[in-house]
Amino acid sequence: MITASSSSPSPSIRQPVSLLGAGGAATALGVALAAAGIEVSAVWSRRLEHAQALATRLPGALACADPQSAADRGALVVLAVPDGAIVPLCAQLRWRSGQAVIHLAGAYGRELLAPAAQAGAETGAFHPLQAFAGRVDPTAWLGVAVAIEADPPLATELASLARRLGAEPFRLDPDQRPLYHAAAALAANGLVALVGGAAELLGRATGLEREAAVRHLMPLLRGALTNLEHLGLSQALTGPVARGDRQTLERHIAALAHEAPHWLSLYCALAGAMLPLARERAAGDPERQAALDALADWLTSAESGEGVSG
């Protein structure tokens, strides 16, 4: 269950912050922290040159050659390392009472930080619902939802930290974390894979190289995202499913069956997933609703391979 974060007065944010990690997430966080006036005292990375590169962007930050030195300099320590590295890194470090330790992983909660908790440190998870990929724009956190898992008072402190970054914090039930992270992966990683498939098909149809195909698809993608933002899900849905246009879908499926059969099942599944939104869009239009019901029946047979010509 996702619940709204506390709206109580913002507490002071524990400072200074130490960043253990210097990849995309750490870079985006460090730059945003500095822009928000939050002190970052230390940066560590397995490669010292990466820590040094990030530290130069953060006034007063020291690039540390070992993780313990970086952790010792922080009142709030952020383990901004790959998911699989969090447990061994946390276990190898010495923690102290009064220190807070958080990670940025989406699929896991505070259980990864058990050694720190056993040593008396407060622990939490602070996951931005965003893919930063090394962005250094200090406004990159604006409007980003941040899932927080922590006990009071750290939970309230982390919510305040998120707001200082311009983000929108919310509390996440630990039991729902796998489903929450699946949603995030579907939206971000699934979109990338879907664009890859669309680029492949566009390349087959036009002879374009993949990079050019992706470039040509970008305006279409931006338009779809703009429509989602301003019109909502059902009104943003366009195309043959939204119209109940079986004839066009038949042509699509026949072409895929002949040219790219490995994309056929996904295409049919996505078309089926569009149907509830198409019905919502067609509310109050009995004729369109009837066409969508017929389309749903036909799609079921198409997914099973009936009536699909190669």
Asked if the model's pLDDT at residue 249 lies above 80, the reply is yes
CATH classification at residue 21? 3.40.50.720
Assessment of whether the complete model's pTM goes beyond 0.75: yes
pLDDT of residue 293: 94
pLDDT of residue 132: 84
Residue 54 lies in a domain: yes
pLDDT of residue 6: 44
Are 90 and 107 part of one and the same domain?
A: yes
Are 85 and 157 part of one and the same domain?
A: yes
In sequence order, the 6+-apart residues with CB closer than 8 A to the CB of 147 are: 2, 106, 125, 126, 127, 129, 170, 171, 172, 177, 180
Asked if the model's pLDDT at residue 4 lies above 80, the reply is no
Residue 277 lies in a domain: yes
- Please write the tens of the pLDDT for every residue from 35-70: 999 999 999 999 999 999 999 999 999 999 999 999
Q: Which residue, 144, 172, 200, sits at the end of a domain?
A: 172
Are 150 and 226 part of one and the same domain?
A: no
Structure tokens at 137: 């724009």
Asked if the model's pLDDT at residue 102 lies above 80, the reply is yes
- Please write the tens of the pLDDT for every residue from 258-297: 999 999 999 999 999 999 999 999 999 999 999 999 999 9
pLDDT of residue 308: 52
More confident residue, 133 or 161: 161
Asked if the model's pLDDT at residue 130 lies above 60, the reply is yes
Residue 307 lies in a domain: no
Are 163 and 51 part of one and the same domain?
A: yes
Are 17 and 144 part of one and the same domain?
A: yes
Residue 149 lies in a domain: yes
Per-residue pLDDT averaged across 83-112, rounded? 96
Are 204 and 164 part of one and the same domain?
A: no
Q: Which residue, 172, 204, 235, sits at the end of a domain?
A: 172
The 3 state secondary structure assigned to the chain is CEEECCCCCCCCCCCCEEEECCCHHHHHHHHHHHHCCCCEEEEECCCHHHHHHHHCCCCCCEEECCHHHHHHCCCEEEECCCHHHHHHHHHHCCCCCCCEEEECCCCCCHHHHHHHHHCCCEEEEEEECCCCCCCCCCCCCCCCEEEEEECCCHHHHHHHHHHHCCCEEEEECHHHHHHHHHHHHHHHHHHHHHHHHHHHHHHHHHCCCHHHHHHHHHHHHHHHHHHHHHHCHHHHCCCHHHHCCHHHHHHHHHHHHHHCHHHHHHHHHHHHHHHHHHHHHCCCCHHHHHHHHHHHHHHHHHHCCCCCCC
Its domain, for residue 161, covers: 2-172
Are 27 and 166 part of one and the same domain?
A: yes
Are 26 and 161 part of one and the same domain?
A: yes
Residue 310 lies in a domain: no
Number of domains within the chain: 2
Q: Which residue, 172, 206, 227, sits at the end of a domain?
A: 172
pLDDT of residue 9: 44
Q: Identity (one letter) of the amino acid at 184?
A: A
Asked if the model's pLDDT at residue 136 lies above 80, the reply is no
Are 203 and 231 part of one and the same domain?
A: yes
Are 230 and 270 part of one and the same domain?
A: yes
Are 202 and 118 part of one and the same domain?
A: no
Are 30 and 91 part of one and the same domain?
A: yes
User: Where does the pLDDT of residue 310 fall: very low under 50, low under 70, confident under 90, or very high at 90 and above?
Assistant: very low
What is the overall mean pLDDT for the chain?
Answer: 92
User: Where does the pLDDT of residue 92 fall: very low under 50, low under 70, confident under 90, or very high at 90 and above?
Assistant: very high
